[in-house]
Amino acid sequence: MSLITTKGAKASLLAAALTLMPAAANAADALTLKADDYVGISFWLISMALVAATAFFFIETTRVQGKWKTSLTVSGLVTLVAAVHYFLHA
C-alpha cells in the first residue's frame, strides 16, 4: 500500500511541477519588477502565498485524521489552480 501512496505522491508532485512550468518561462519578466509597481508586487506576493498554501495543504494531508484529508486535498487543488491563474495572467 505504501508503494501506491509513494507513486501517487510522486505523480502529484510531477503534475504540480509541470503545471508551474510556464511561470518559470516568465522568470525573466519578474526581473523587471520596479520598486514602485505596487500591483506587480501584490501579484507576486499573492502568487507566492498561494504556492506556499498549496504545499502546506498537500503536506498536511499526511498528518491529519481521515475525515480531513479530502478537505485539505480540495483546498490544495483550489490554491494550485489560483496560483497557476495568477502566474499565467499576471
List the CATH number of the domain containing 81: 1.20.1070.10
Phi, psi of 21 (to 5 degrees): -60, -40
Task: Record the cell numbers describing residue 80, joined without a space.
Answer: 494550485
- Per-residue pLDDT tens for 3-53? 456 666 665 665 666 565 555 555 555 567 788 889 888 988 998 999 999
Question: Residue 9 sits in which domain range?
Answer: 2-89
Contacts of 61 (CB under 8 A, 6+ apart): 69, 72, 73, 76
Residue 81 confidence (pLDDT): 95
- In whole angstroms, give the CA distance from residue 19 to residue 84: 7
Residue 67 in this model has a pLDDT that exceeds 80: yes
What is the residue type of 16?
A
What's the total number of domains in the chain?
A: 1
Give pLDDT, residue 88: 83
Q: pLDDT: is 26 or 67 the higher one?
A: 67
pTM value is 0.61
